[in-house]
Structure formats: structure tokens, C-alpha cells
Structure 1
């Protein structure tokens, strides 16, 4: 196994709002529970905009994006508990710092990569599966667990209030957004076999229902449908997974939510603000969550789930050179691409 060099290349934001630049960097002092990964592939996503636009406290430029990677263990943790060894193929959630030839990761946020994802197109999909499908899967399970903790009297009270508001039955689960991340979220929720019907609230009509694996009546487009009434006809939104930051039609979306419903926000949008109708949230006792924190067991279970169900992530592979890294980032920022951007450090099947 190649030893970790003193210096290596990483794609970095040098200043707020700047372009990605590939420059030499080095690892700072590792914590005793951190290992080093020789990166094979790293996904880019909208959460990396938090770094570009300096939206997280106590971080200093240059900053390296990349929240999830797959690769090979190059150096084990000094006080490791997970029994990794050098040469193991792993998936890891790094939070940031993944878009580099080598990266650090807390070994609690690393799992051995299922054999199915060791090469080719499946390896390219693995970082997106880890980060995007993982967060959707985890959010679903957190919400399901919270619902199970409600006692009989709470359930009855919520049901009665919803009926008074005109929301019949159990309602639907909504995915808000468009493109490949929305498709991956829908496919993930289908395969966990949620008991409620899935509805996509699309931010444009750029892609059709069959692109999402849905029927025409399962897609509501913000600019073409009365989202408020269409959701109410279906019993209202019990939960919403926002694959994009709501900017248009948010009030109508909240009006279509049931009492005691949940919204999970997965993505920011640059440094733009979002006006939230607080009265609506208070009146309906709604819960607004950020992207869920994944545990080691969540990470292990979602990759096992993806392997078992042959979950597919729509991805496009880019090479690790400055032009292609910038092209990959442009695809993330513009939201015009169906496929999720993945930067590969080695040639993989399907790369240009």
C-alpha cells in the first residue's frame, strides 16, 4: 500500500465565492481515532456550497469540499475500534475534505465497502449512495422511529385534528425538488416500502413523470398545479424531503401539510435566504429538520440496503483535473444536470 505522502493535491476554495483550484496540501495532525484514505471517488453536492460561501462558523480558507468518499485505507487509526487494516476498501463520510488524493476520516464514520461497489459504475455511484441516499434513508428511519414513539392518545388527537382540517386518511410523503437527487430520494423511499404514497413536487417541468419512475398524477409542478389543494385531495403531506431549498411555492407547500407533519431540508442554495411562514409551522405543530446526522450503523445499513436492492444513483464521472473539477462544480451549482457529480481519481468504466 502506498504510504501517505507529506504533500498531495486537493481541489480547494481559496477564498469566499472563488473557483475550485487544485493545489498542494498536507494533512494536519491526525486525531487518534482518525484514519487516512487514498481517495478513489468523491461526490460533490449542494451542501458543499456551505464551504464556498463561508456559511459555517470557525472555518478558514482554503477549504476542501467533498462530504463523502470511497477509497482504500492508507493509514489506520492509532486507537482504532473498527478493525480496519491498510488496503481495505471503505466508504466514508468526511463532512468536507474529500476532494483530495488523500483525506482523513473518523473511523466511526467509515465502513467496509460492499464488494458490489469496488469497481466500475458502481464505484462511481458509491459516494452519492453514501451521502445522498444515506441521508434520505436515515431521515425516513428517524421519522418512522419518532412516529412509533407516539402513544395511542397522541395518535388519536393528531388524527382528529387532521380530519377537522380536511386531511383524510394517512396522507402522502412528498419529495420536493428535481433531477437526479430527487429520483434517488424517490427510489430510496420506494425500496424502504413506506406505507404512504409518494408524490414529487417538482420545481420545474424540465423532466417528465416517467423520468422519475412515477405516473403523471404522482408529479405536481409548482408553476402548473395548485399544490395546496392537490396535496389536500391526497390527504396532505405527512412528511417532506426537500432535495432542493424551497424558494417558490413554499407557503402553498406548507398549506398542503398535515398537522404534526415533518420537513427535512437536505440542500442549501448558494448563500440565498429562505422565508419561512412561521405561523403555518406553529399552527400545524410541524417539525423542521436539517440534514440528519448519520451514525456508523446508519452508514453500514444504507450501503447494505443499496446492495441488496440494487439501488442506482444517477451519476456523471469527472476526472481529477482543474477543468473537469470546475465543470463538475458548475453542474452542482446550476442545478441543470440530471446526474450527480462524482470526481474520480482513477479511470473507471463509463468515464469519458
Structure 2
């Protein structure tokens, strides 16, 4: 296959997304060059567009953290993938383009029966949920997991994975439609945060015991409320801060209930760290995707040049699941 010298890509200009032409990147060492068929849209992309989440030093300024497509060239040290492979991949940046570089160890085979659009919605959310809910928070079977933002890409992934591994799930979402979707997806309970007090509802749902793990993308004034509905030895994992990074809290419950407060960002971690997650997904989650026990939830797709419209939809929070760009 002949690879063009230049490619269509999306760049950030004055907090907006605009089509541009860039040189097609060339793979070296352990990199694979993917001809992108579809790319996932994520909130970190929106933050990057607004100047709030710059890419790591040395990474491309082109947004996009996950892609699906065909490997068309490989670096001299690559041994895990070959040209012609259909893969989905977690990338540090560069996904909003016709071609994208990915570390070979972060390229995973597209599960059977999934189209490129569906596969492009897997890497960012599945890597994030596995790393935070299962590795960091050590969610176990029969424990209660609370997911704030249950209808998001992260939320719909967390519901399915937690249920697949035997946990019980409560979610919060901002409408009855979103709550109904989440219970249909497997959540044991859904709380509309617009009309209900999730702290009181969780106490009732758990017989005043509280939840064992919380996956929170909200931050801000949610923190003291989260502490109020955590069980003894519970773990809170912070992965985003939609309501801000600061909060006033009472430290006493942390001591008395032996609580663990932690958090992480995935993008800045090195490829070796991410490769360990990739191996766990391949061994423990890919069989579930192949069996269609779980599946990425896709809300809608836009062509690459409509990336700004895709961001506007994400910012409206009217979607359920993932938003995808097609190339």
C-alpha cells in the first residue's frame, strides 16, 4: 500500500478545531503507523482544545487519544503487530488524522463482530476503567461500585466491566432517560442527581453500609458527599474534575472509616505502564468483547472534518456513551 506524503488532520486554532494538512508520520523503533478508520472523542480532547490539558512534551499537538484502523507500516523493532492487522490503539495524541502512530504494545486486535466505529470507542475508556477501578481501587466481586456520570463513555464501560466481574453498581446521571439506559445496561440502581440526593439514596440502597468503591469524574463539592456514602475501608478514585479541583472536607471520616482517596491521569503515564494494562485487557476483557458479553456504547459519529460539532455535542452532555469520528 502506498502511503501519501501528506495527510488530513485536525488542529487546534484559537480554541477551535480546523482541518489542516500535515506530513504523514513515519514509524520508528516500536511504533506502528495506523491508517485511521475511526477515532474516539474524549473529554480530555475538549480540555486540550480549550488550553487546559496540553499534550505531554514531545507528543503531537493533534488531539485524539484512541483510534481504530489498519496497520500500514511498522518500525524496525516491531514484533507484536504486522502490516494489514486491524487494530484499535491507545495513543498519547494524534488520533484526529488520517494516519496515526501508536506503540505496538498498545495496539489490540479488533474484537470479532465489531466495526471500526465500535472499536475506536474501546481503548481510552477500557484502559482508564481497568487501571482505576480494578488495579488502583481493587474492586472485588459482591462489592458496591458507585459511578458518577454513569451514561458517559467511562460510565457505560465501568457498569459493564463491574457487572461482568461480579460487583454491584450504582450510578448517578442527569436525566431519567440516562438513568433508564444505565439500568438497562446492567446497573443495579440509577440516581438522577438533578432530582435526588445520592447520599441518602445510597444509604438506603446499601442498608446504611455505603459503597466500597467510587469512580468520580466530578470533583469539587462532590468530595464531602462521597465521603458520606463510603463504607468502611472504601476507596475513592478521582479521574476528572468537572466541578473543580478544590473542596472543603472533614478528615475525621477518613480516619474513622479507614478510607482511601486516590486518583490518576492516564495520558502522561509511559508506554510500559500502559502496556501492562493492555495485557490485562487482552487476557481478561477481550474474551468478554469477543463473546459479546460487553460492548462499547456508541452514541453517534461525525466525519473527521466535523470534529468541532462532535466537541459541541460532548460539551452539551446530551449524549450517552461514546462519540466517534470517522475518517
TM-score exceeds 0.5: yes
Aligned counterparts of 2:78 and 2:59: Cα–Cα separation in 1: 30
**How far off is 1:216 after superposition?**
10
Contact 1:48/1:65 (<8 A) preserved: yes
Q: Any stretches of 5+ residues in structure 2 without a counterpart?
A: 267-272
Contact 1:262/1:289 (<8 A) preserved: no
Contact 2:59/2:93 (<8 A) preserved: no
Which residues in structure 2 correspond to 1:122-141 (within 5 Å)? 123-141=116-134
Contact 2:221/2:247 (<8 A) preserved: no
> How many correspondences in the alignment?
308
Q: Answer 1 or 2: higher relative contact order, Cα 8 Å, separation at least 6.
A: 1
Q: 1:61 to 1:114 in 2, by over 3 A?
A: closer
Aligned counterparts of 2:247 and 2:287: Cα–Cα separation in 1: 37
Matching residue of 1:259: 232
Contact 1:176/1:201 (<8 A) preserved: yes
3-state SS, counterpart of residue 207 of structure 1 = helix
**How far off is 1:287 after superposition?**
2.5
Matching residue of 1:211: 181
3-state SS, counterpart of residue 88 of structure 2 = strand
3-state SS, counterpart of residue 91 of structure 1 = strand
**How far off is 1:20 after superposition?**
0.6
Task: Encode CA deviations 1:53-84: one digit per residue, 9 max, x unaligned.
Answer: 243475589821111111111111211131x2
Matching residue of 2:303: 319
Matching residue of 1:229: 200
Aligned counterparts of 1:59 and 1:51: Cα–Cα separation in 2: 14
Aligned counterparts of 2:21 and 2:55: Cα–Cα separation in 1: 24
Structure number with greater Rg is: 1
RMSD over aligned Cα, in angstroms? 3.0
3-state SS, counterpart of residue 228 of structure 1 = helix
Which residues in structure 2 correspond to 1:1-352 (within 5 Å)? 1-3=1-3, 5-15=4-14, 18-27=15-24, 30-52=27-49, 53-56=51-54, 59=57, 63-82=61-80, 84-117=81-114, 119=115, 123-143=116-136, 145=138, 172-181=144-153, 182-194=155-167, 197-202=168-173, 204-207=174-177, 209-213=179-183, 218-233=189-204, 234=206, 235-242=209-216, 244-247=217-220, 249-269=222-242, 273-280=244-251, 282-283=254-255, 284-291=258-265, 294-295=274-275, 296-301=278-283, 302-315=285-298, 316-321=300-305, 324-345=306-327
Of Structure 1 and Structure 2, which has the larger fraction of its residues in strand? 2
